[in-house]
Amino acid sequence: MCGIIGYTGQREASEVILEALRRLEYRGYDSAGIVIMNPELTLHKRKGELAEMQRTLPQINGHVGIGHTRWATCGKPSNENAHPFLDCHGRIALVHNGIIENYMALKEKLQNEGHVFTSQTDTEVIVHLIEKHDKGDLHQAVRAAVAEIKGTYAIACIEKGSGQIIAARKENPLVLGLGIDENFVASDVTAILSYTNRVKYVMDGETVVITPEKVTIYGPDGEMVERSSQTVTWSAEDAQKGGFPHFMLKEIFEEPQAIHNSLLGALDVIENGEILPNVQFGSIKIIACGTSYHAAMVGKYALEELAKIPVTVELASEYRYSPGAKEFPLVVLISQSGETADTLAAAREAKRRGCKTLGITNVIGSTITREVDEVFYTRAGPEIGVAATKTYLTQLIALYIIAIRIGYARRNLSHDAMWNELSKLRAMPGAVQSVLDKAFDVEAAVDMLVPARDVFYIGRNINYPTMLEGALKLKEISYIHAEGFAAGELKHGPLALLDSTTPVVAVALTKDHTYDKMMANISEVAARDSPVLAIGCEDDKELPQVADLVLRVPCVDPLYSPVVVTVVLQLIAYYVALKRGCSIDKPKNLAKSVTVE
């Protein structure tokens, strides 16, 4: 989603802001802009790539400024709708992430009072509200303005003649970067890691006054808030490509280490109850969106197998609208960024219904960590590519650990059985590395998919949701229409669409109890002349007889097979997109952190 950066200090603000905006590009955007105080407020913004905005940017000297990358939600992409925005007199500049739900009513009122608008955005309402309330104290003007707003926001604004930045937050992330004689505000810590690793996170309803010397946080009641800083443990270099052509490929190859990191301390979690010390609940509901939803579906199989507890999975965007039952399940909420708007809303609804909540996220200090009772961090490290790869695998690892924890605590797993399952998990980094060692086989095999308009993905049991995730990856970055199906459902409609122009990606693993059924399904597909790219075990001699091409994976326990199969599916999507010349790290119309509903 949109990116915010603000700087006040001794450096040239334009250089800092442009560097930060480059690091925020991965979030997805359609326009970019910057305002520097010099001593007037000098504004420059453009539709399109950040490089285009930078190419046309005049030399602007100054030590205070704000910048923004916009992803259109209200008002089409254009120069006029790009951020930042100025008030009528050019005294106040503002950038904003989020959605203002009552902006039409506010805009009409402001226009009647003589305010002139230059865009079709909801954001411009905020800067005019601040102008209206400004009596010489910008901080108080911001507080008065946001009090009139209904919706969500993270904002940063500056005023001509002042070295301070005012920021405010409601349900959109903001982080403060702390330096020496300089300070920062950003929507994402990635933006500021080149300059500082000391941060403070802004909470809902808070406002902040930022000067080169200090940052002062105020609570919703206007009282000062004391908050300790945190140290970010990964560096700006961790977020660079490291010699890979794309972040996505780099992050796929980082998966063995990411899984290893997520397994650190797993024994304590499982045996000593560092999470879920009390397992007195009769069922579990897992809530998520997009890729995280597919992880949730895999988690359902793992939890029901290892913990012997009933599990339901629900889309976060639908959970709030369901009537809710009288039971009180453990509600597990999964969000890679910890800022997914629908998942956060679901967390609040679950709490309102009286449910115990557990969050799974990759981002320390993110909003979901403050909305749930307990948190499990996936430790994947920074993920820049929009298409989730290593964060998805570490979500699976988290769900397996939680499943073993609950199974052990409920005595469905003995101590020896718990150790056996944990040993299988500990073998996953090596199994994934063996898949990555054969990445060139995947690159060669995807030629059958490159010209396709439609591709089917089929699997059974725990690899049904795995194939849903594989199809999502292909459509996200290659723009090929792809659909995942439970293979047993082919006869109920999808077979009508199969012919020689519709490739099918199928998974059939010899140790899986669904193997014979999958072989029958693949034969069924081949009989319709559809080319079949199959994923099978290293020792399988039968699969090549029914599939056109076979990609091999280590023959792991079927319960954990989604880990290795997923890596193949990610590589398939990557190499297809590469051969089609697509924008892999920044696919069109998509954003990394979906902070609006």
Residue showing tokens 């999507």: 573
User: What is the dihedral angle through the alpha carbons of 373, 378, 384, 390, rounded to the nearest 10 degrees?
Assistant: -140
Strand order in the sheet with 3-8: 41-47, 31-37, 64-70, 3-8, 183-186, 175-178, 198-201, 230-231
Give backbone dihedrals phi and psi of 455, rounded to 5 degrees, phi first. -135, 135
Among candidate residues 106, 109, 190, the one with its CA nearest the CA of residue 153: 106
- End-to-end CA, the chain: 11
Pairing of strands 31-37, 64-70: antiparallel
Among candidate residues 552, 501, 572, 505, the one with its CA nearest the CA of residue 533: 505
Rounded distance between C-alpha atoms, residue 135 and residue 368, angstroms: 36
Dihedral sign from CA coordinates of 456, 464, 393, 351: positive
Among candidate residues 335, 327, 371, 386, the one with its CA nearest the CA of residue 353: 327
In the annotation, is 592 catalytic? yes
Contacts of 176 (CB under 8 A, 6+ apart): 167, 183, 184, 185, 199, 200, 201, 202, 208, 210, 215, 217
Local structure of 471: helix, strand or coil: helix
User: Which among 132, 285, 586, 592 is annotated as catalytic?
Assistant: 592
User: Which among 2, 157, 289, 582 is annotated as catalytic?
Assistant: 2
In eight-state DSSP terms, residue 444 is H
**E strands, 189-326, where?**
198-201, 207-210, 215-218, 224-225, 230-231, 284-288, 311-315
In the annotation, is 76 catalytic? no
List, by residue number, the catalytic residues: 2, 592
